[in-house]
Amino acid sequence: MAIQICQDPAADALLAESDFALLIGMMLDQQYPMEHAFRGPAKLSERMGSFEVEEVAHADPERFAEMAATTPAIHRFPGSMAARVQEIAQIILDQYEGETSRLWTEAKDGKDLLKRITALPGFGKQKGQIFVALLAKQRGVKPQGWEAVAGDYALEGFRSVADVVDADSLQKVRDFKKAKKAAAKG
């Protein structure tokens, strides 16, 4: 299944080919429209000339923050998000030898995968659950017990970015989130 989260062919292609870009897009998906958040890696790739873990980790922090803040910025809080992107890149470099996929290929099971993901900056339990579901639905990564770990995000429907496959499903996810917020308000 082709990724169509960004609704931009080049940005979606980067997410499809780069595990690091997909992970960073997920981290950026907070307090910002999801398709714009997931475009962040493509913006950085254009500005840097590539989006490789080692290059991001070793980039000058001030220069990297400038690239993140260049209009259109990667997030509404580009400075703090640039620091998180570099922190995640350094973790991937140090703990996984620069291979983002080792986060999931070396996980013992779904619980271990969630633990590894939530240990990253910017990933709480809910975001971790969504990313587990995204990996299962978009990458076919399904370690034992992934459904229990992903919770409701593992179900069929339009609950999160894990369910976005085209413009129509993006709108359905938006509608679901809007209805959920309205219900929470009473």
The pLDDT value given to residue 1 = 52
* Nearest C-alpha neighbor of 21 from the set 100, 132, 76, 104: 100
On the question of pLDDT at 29 being above 80, the answer is: yes
pLDDT tens-digit map of 33-47:
899 999 999 999 999
Q: How many CB atoms lie within 10 A of CB 44?
A: 25
Q: Which of 123, 128, 37 is nearest to 78 (CA)?
A: 37
Indicate the Cα dihedral angle 171, 174, 178, 184, nearest 10°: 140
User: Average model confidence (pLDDT) for the chain?
Assistant: 94
Residue 63 has a pLDDT of 97
Mean pLDDT of 5-31: 95
- How many residues can be counted in the chain? 186
CA distance 41 to 50: 9
DSSP single-letter state for residue 73: P
Rounded to whole angstroms, the Cα distance separating 63 from 89 reads: 16
- Residue 123: its H or E element: none
pTM of the model: 0.95
Q: What is the pLDDT of residues 136-185, one digit of tens each?
A: 998 999 999 999 999 999 988 899 999 998 889 999 998 998 888 888 88
At 148-157, the pLDDT tens digits run 999 999 988 8
